[in-house]
A and B are shown apart, each in its own frame.
Chain A
Amino acid sequence: DSGVTQTPKHLITATGQRVTLRCSPRSGDLSVYWYQQSLDQGLQFLIQYYNGEERAKGNILERFSAQQFPDLHSELNLSSLELGDSALYFCASSVAGSPNQPQHFGDGTRLSIL
């Protein structure tokens, strides 16, 4: 158990819809990272938040947005969903904001677009 909690575990929805994925970091971790993993693909970094502020941005689409709340949990919002958005979305957390810190991953949310 990594201590990172992601909900829901599975999400099935239709094209054009909007969903929200939620992540609670490990106790004491200030950074939250979001990744997308498509079938047989590596981990694509989407965005990082550190102590409520956006720290780094990766290949995140304009249809996607995220935020980190004062209690440090984070939400990833995906809108105008397309078939290609079907993937496993991981959240990870680390103690500080530096990429030198090991990241601890949650179990992921599997998103299926029909």
Chain B
Amino acid sequence: GQQVMQIPQYQHVQEGEDFTTYCNSSTTLSNIQWYKQRPGGHPVFLIQLVKSGEVKKQKRLTFQFGEAKKNSSLHITATQTTDVGTYFCAGGSNDYKLSFGAGTTVTVRA
């Protein structure tokens, strides 16, 4: 079945630095979604990418969908303490399942 791999598992970032988390699928995806889960909270939908090569920005967050629709990335610039949490990518397929990656847990050093 479809698997979505996400790296790195943990990201320790100095406040103000940039970082990127990556998501890779073994199969072509219909879409990729990104969610953020704050400590003690529930996953919250951030964005959805559908088109090959699509790039979307939300303030300091840049999301990309690969040309082959098998990988995606989330790049955060000038990390702030409010960015702390776990970022999940989730790949959609044609079998009505959304497969979540294991997540990248981000901690920020002030």
Contacts and interface: CB of A to CB of B under 8 A. Distances in A.
Interface stretch (A13-21, A61-69, A104-112): A104-112
Contacts of B100: 35, 42-45
B94 to A, nearest CB: 8
A11 interface: no
Interface in B83-98: 88, 90, 92-93, 95-98
Secondary structure class of chain B's binding surface, majority of residues = strand
Interface residues of B, number: 25
B102 interface: yes
Contact of B42 (A41, A58, A97, A108): A108
Interface in B1-52: 6, 30-31, 33, 35, 41-45, 48, 50
* Band of interface residues on A: 20 to 34
B99 interface: yes
A43 B90 CA distance: 10
A95 to B, nearest CB: 12
Output the residue of B31, B33, B42, B90 with the most chain A CB within 10 A. B42
A103 B99 contact: no
B50 A100 contact: yes
